[in-house]
Chain A
Amino acid sequence: MIVLTINGQDRQIDAPDEMPLLWVLRDIVGLTGTKFGCGIAQCGACTVHLDGQPVRSCVLPVASAVGKKITTIEGIGATDIGKRVQQAWLGIEVVQCGYCQSGQIMSATALLAEKPSPTDADIDTAMSGNLCRCGTYVRIRAAIKQAATGQATLPQTIA
C-alpha cells in the first residue's frame, strides 16, 4: 500500500511501484479526466502536476509521486490560475473534440504559474509537448494570453 495525495486528498493505493501514475489515476482511483494518448510521453494528453510541475503521467512510475502533491484536471479549477485558464478556454471556445484539452490546460496552468506574462516563445516551449489532432493551437495560444492578461484576445463566445 502506498499513499498518494491527489487534489488535496490522501488515498491509499494498492499498485506496483513501477505502474505509471496515469493508470493508477484512471483505472484504480477512477479519475478519468487525465487521458491516455500515446504511452511514451509524446502527446501530453496525460499531463498532471507533481508539486506544481507538469509531468507526463503515462511514463511516471507511481512510486515517484509518493510524498508529492498530485494535481489533476479535476482539481486544477481549485487554483486561481487553473480557474482563470479554464475560463479563458471557455471564453474563446478552445475545445473541439476535447480529448487533449485536460493535458493542454495542465501545461498552460503550469506555464502561467511560472511565467505570469509568457511570451510567444515561452508558450511555444511550454505547449509544444501537447498534441491536438483537432488543431486548436491558434486558440490555445490566444487563451493562454487571455488568462495571463485578463484581456480578451479574440471575439468572445456568448451564451
Chain B
Amino acid sequence: MTSFVRPAHDDADLPNPSRRELLKRGGLVVAFMWLGGATRVLGLDNSTRIGENHPLFAPNAFVRVGNDGSVQLVMPNVEMGQGVYTAQAMLLAEELDVGLDQITVEHAPPNRKLYLNPLLGDQATGGSTTVRYCWTALRDAGAAARYMLVNAAAQRWKVDPSQCTVARGVVTHAPTGRTLPYGELADAAAKVTPPEKAPLKDPKDFQLIGKPMRRVDSSGKVDGSLIFGLDVRVPGMKIATVRACPTFGGRLASVDDSHARSIPGVLRVLKIDNAVAVVGEHYWAAKQGLDALVIQWDRGANAHLSTEQFFADMAHASEHGKPIVAKEVGHPDGAKGKTISSTYELPLLAHATMEPINALVHVRPDACDVWVGSQVVARCADIAAKVTGLPPESITIHNQYLGGGFGRRLFEESVGQAVAFGKQVDYPIKVVWTREEDIAQDCYRPAYYDRISATLDDNGKPVAWTHRTTGASVLASFAPPAMGKNGLDPDLVECAADLPYAIPNLRSEWVRHDFPEGMRVGWWRGVGPTHNVMVVESFVDELAHAAGKDPVAYRREILGEDPRVRGVLDLATEKAGWGKETLPPRHGRGIALAAPFGSYLCVIVDVEVSPQGVVSLKRAVAAVDCGIVVNPNTVEAQIQGGLVFGWSAALYSGITLKQGAVEQRNFNDYRVMRLNETPPIEVHIVPSKEKPGGIGEPGTVMAMAALTNAIFAATGVRLRKLPIDTSLLVKDKGALNEVLSATAPVDGAPANARNLS
C-alpha cells in the first residue's frame, strides 16, 4: 500500500463550516483520506490551508488533539446500533495510544466529495462496509498523530523519540521518567513534519483491538439522555403527522378537514400531491386531527394490485423473461443423473425500525435546516435543495442517532416529504409518521421468485446446478452506475453465483422484474445474500435429503477449496454437537453455511415444532470467521441481533397487498420476535489474521435457512415460501382439536405484561 504524506504547509481551503471550526480551535489536526485502501495523512496547524497546491489531496476525515488533551474524530459514518463509533474510535485509539474514553466522535456533515464511502460510491453507511474500508486509514491516522506528538515531546526534552513511550495520551521519557500530556504538546506537534508512513503496531501488541470494549454511545442509551432524530426539539417547533395515499403512485383527490380543524391544538392541515399532514401543538392533537380527516384518494394505476397478482407476474417473468447470466461454468444443461427442482418464494418485507420515520424541518425563504437520523446525509441535503429550490449551501442537515436503520434510512424520500410540508409554514415542524404509515409507506425489500435445479450423480453429488432468480433491482434506482454492463445487478446473485461448494457445471442468472411504477424498493438487512442464502442453503439441504445423506456430511463432500468455509463448518458442528445425540420427536437441527460480506459463517439452529405447528427455537450456535476482530463484543452482538432479525422475518413478517394497499398496520400484524421466543445464541469466533469482513448483516443472512432446515428435520416439511405457514406444520387434525377444546391460549400469541393499561 502506498502512503502519501504532505508537509504541514499545504493550503487549506475548507468550504465546510464544521471543518473550518475544527481547524480554528487549534491543537493538532490530522487530516486523512481513504481511497480504496490508500491512506494519505496530513498534519495541520491553525494557520495552514489545504487544497490549492495539491488538488489530488482532499482529506475526508479528521482527528483533532486539543490543547486540553481531548481527541475528536469526525467521521463520515452514522451510528445506528451497529457499533461503528466504537470500532472506529478503537482503531484510532489503538495507534494513538489513548483510552477509548478520551475520544469523542462526531458525525460528518453532508459532503459527498469529502466523505465518499468507496465501497458504496456515496456518503452512505450500509452494506457492512464500515470497518472494512477504514481498517487501515484510521490506524494510519492514529499512528501519524502519535508520531507527531511524540516528536514534539522529544524535541522539547531534546531526546531521541525512540526513548519515549505513550499511555493514555501521556508521553513518558523512559530514562528520566519525565512526562508530558498530549494536550500540552498538541500545538507544537502541529508544526512537526508528518511522517512518510508511521509504523503500525504488530497485532500481538494490540491493547484494544480484539478486546471486548464498551460502546462509546451506551451511557446515554440507558438513562434516556441520548437524542434520536425523533427527540430533537427546537424553539417554536410544532408537530405534524402524515397520511399518504395508501396505493403506490396514487394521488390526493380531496380532503374534508372541517372536523379536524375544530380539534383543540390542531393548527393547520397541509397538502401535497400524494399526502396530507395535520400540524398540531403536539403529536396527540395532530394525530386526532389526522384521524378526523375525510380523504378521497385517486388510487391510480396500482389500485387493484394484489400479492397473488404480484407473484403470478413474477412467475410469468421467470418463465418468459430474458435472464441475465451472472455466471456460467461448464455445461449445466443436459447433465445425466437424478434431477431435483424447486421453486422458492420470498415476500416483500418492511423494515419496522423501532424509531418510526421522522424529520424535523425548518424552511425559511433563504435557508433550510433538517434534523434527521439518516444513513445518507448527502442525499437528504440534495432532496431538501430540490424541494425548496434553495442552493445546496443553504441547506443544513443535522444528523442524529438512528433508532435502527437496517437499510430503511438509506432512503431520503421522507425527508423530501417533510420539507414539502415544511415549506408551507413559517415555523419548524417535526413530521412524525405513525407506525401504520411507517409500515404502509416503506421502501420494501423486494419479493423474489427463484427456480433452482440440480442434477445428482450416482453418489448424490451435484454435477450440474442452475439457479434463476426473479425480482426487482434496488441498485438500478439507488446507484445506477453500479449496475453491470450487461444490466446485471450484482446484488441479485451475491452468494448465488459464487457458492462455497465445488459444482463443475453451474449457471446463476437473474430475470429483472421491477416493482410497479410508484412502489419503492429498498435495501434490507443482508440484502441479496439474505435472499440467496435462504434459497441456496435450503436447496442444498434438499439435495442432501435426496442423496440420503446427513446435511453436514453432505456439505463436507461437496465443499470447495476455501479452508475458511471448512473452518466455520468444523467449529459450529463441534460446538453444536452435531450428530452426537438423537433428538426427541418433532425436534430438529438445521444448518446454514455461507460466505457473505467478506466473512464466513456457519449457523446451527435447534427447534421444536408443536403438534399444532408452533415453532420454538431452542438453541442456536454460530461460528464466525470475520478476519481480524476489532471488537468481539460487537461481533457477538451483531450476529445475535442479525439472527433474531432474520428469524423474525422468516417466522412472522411479510408485507401483502390488497386492492393496491399494504394490508399490515402495526406490530400486531407485522409481527417480530419477542424475548420469550428468542433462544440462547452462542457465537464462536474463529481466530484470524485475515483482513476484517463485514459483520452487521451476516447474521440475518444465515438465519432463515438454518431455521427452515431445522423445521424440515423436525417435521419432514420443506418450507419453500416465507413467512412460515404454520398450518403446513400441523401434525394431524387431532392436534388442532386438542387446542380448540382447551381453554389456554396458543403459545406464540403476544404475551401481555402485567398491569398494563
Contacts and interface: CB of A to CB of B under 8 A. Distances in A.
Interface of A: 16, 19-20, 23, 26-28, 30-45, 53-56, 59-60, 64, 72-74, 77, 86, 89-90, 93-102, 105, 107, 123-141, 155-159
A20 B284 contact: yes
Given A56-B757, A64-B757, A98-B217, A74 B82 contact: no
A36 B356 CA distance: 8
Given A40-B435, A99-B403, A127-B676, 6 more contacts: A16-B265, A35-B355, A53-B755, A97-B355, A135-B673, A137-B673
A135 B284 contact: no
A113 B403 CA distance: 28
B218 A97 contact: no
Given A93-B218, A98-B401, A133 B83 contact: no
A125 B233 CA distance: 35
A32 B666 contact: no
Given A54-B756, A159-B99, A90 B633 contact: no
Given A54-B754, A133-B354, A158-B211, A97 B435 contact: no
A133 B674 contact: no
Contacts of A93: 212, 214-215, 218, 633, 637
Contacts of A99: 228, 353-355, 403-404
A131 B214 CA distance: 23
A27 B286 CA distance: 12
Interface stretch (B66-74, B119-127, B642-650): B642-650
B80 A97 contact: yes
A101 B101 CA distance: 22
23 contacts: A16-B265, A27-B283, A27-B284, A31-B224, A36-B230, A36-B283, A42-B668, A54-B753, A56-B757, A72-B224, A86-B223, A90-B218, A95-B215, A98-B81, A107-B753, A133-B406, A134-B354, A135-B643, A135-B645, A155-B212, A157-B212, A157-B215, A157-B633
Interface in B263-287: 264-265, 281-284, 287
A135 B755 CA distance: 25
Contacts of A125: 676, 751, 753-754
Interface string B283-326: 11001000000000000000000000000000000000000000
A139 B633 CA distance: 11
B226 interface: yes
Given A31-B224, A72-B224, A133 B404 contact: yes
A100 B677 CA distance: 17
Contacts of A132: 354, 644, 675
Which size class do B's interface residues fall under? 35 or more
Interface string B41-85: 000000000000000000000000000000000000000111100
B674 A56 contact: no
B223 A16 contact: no
Contacts of A94: 222
A128 B212 contact: no
B176 interface: no
A35 B354 contact: yes
A98 B637 contact: no
Given A35-B403, A96-B641, A128-B751, A123 B224 contact: no
Interface string B91-104: 00000000111000
Contact of A26 (B283, B434, B435, B637): B283
Nearest to B93: A159
A54 B354 contact: no
B222 A105 contact: yes
A36 B432 contact: yes
B280 to A, nearest CB: 9
A139 to B, nearest CB: 7
Contacts of A59: 757
A33 B224 contact: yes
A140 B641 CA distance: 12
Contacts of A105: 222
A30 B233 contact: yes
B605 to A, nearest CB: 14
B640 A135 contact: yes
A151 B615 CA distance: 32
A138 B682 CA distance: 10
B750 interface: yes
Contacts of B220: 98
Interface in B586-636: 633
Contacts of A38: 435, 666-667
B203 to A, nearest CB: 19
B680 interface: yes
A59 B756 CA distance: 9
Interface in B558-575: none
B566 to A, nearest CB: 27
Contacts of A41: 756-757
B255 interface: no
B667 A55 contact: no
A17 B673 CA distance: 34
Contacts of A55: 755-757
B414 to A, nearest CB: 16
B672 interface: yes
B402 interface: yes
B162 interface: no
Given A31-B224, A95-B221, A126 B354 contact: no
B222 A128 contact: no
A114 B226 CA distance: 28
Given A39-B435, A127-B675, A159-B213, A32 B641 contact: no
Of B208, B284, B434, B668, which is in contact with the most chain A CB atoms at under 10 Å from its CB?
Answer: B284
Contacts of A44: 753
B218 A95 contact: yes
Of B215, B217, B637, which is in contact with the most chain A CB atoms at under 10 Å from its CB?
Answer: B637
Contacts of A74: 223-225
A159 B100 contact: yes
Interface in B184-234: 208, 211-215, 217-228, 230-231, 233
Contacts of B640: 135-136, 138-139
Given A55-B756, A158-B212, A135 B641 contact: yes
A37 B354 contact: yes
A136 B641 contact: yes
B633 A33 contact: no
Interface in B678-722: 678, 680-681
B239 interface: yes
A128 B676 contact: yes
Contact of B680 (A96, A107, A138, A158): A138
B752 interface: yes
